[in-house]
Amino acid sequence: MAYLAVLYPWTAGARFDARYYVDTHLAIVRDAWTDHGLIDATVLFPVEADPAFAAIATLEFADEAAIDAALASPGAARVFGDVAAFTDIGPVAQRCRMAR
């Protein structure tokens, strides 16, 4: 497995629509990237009043090649183009590996 974490750093006054993210954006991600090896997409939201991040998404892919394929796919433009619909925060993406 290979993972892509997408973090949205919180700053005072930032806009982040968590409901839109869950109801709409995750569906766009799944629709665009499942055929390219996306296995699962989850998101964590903070419980603190002044968080470091507005959200942390974890995208699980079959392997690193699947991440490359998803990011290079035509659907990537739709995924990235939708970001402005739910936030004014610039997302930070990082490839990760899972350890247990």
53-73 pLDDT, tens per residue? 999 999 999 999 999 999 999
Cβ atoms of residues 61 and 1 within 8 Å: yes
Domains identified in the chain and CATH numbers: 2-96 (3.30.70.100)
- 87, β-bridge pairs: 16
pLDDT value at residue 4: 98
Q: Which pLDDT belongs to residue 49?
A: 87
| 35-47: pLDDT as tens digits | 999 999 999 999 9
pTM of this prediction? 0.93
Span 68-91, average pLDDT = 98
Per-residue pLDDT reduced to its tens digit, 20-33 = 999 999 999 999 99
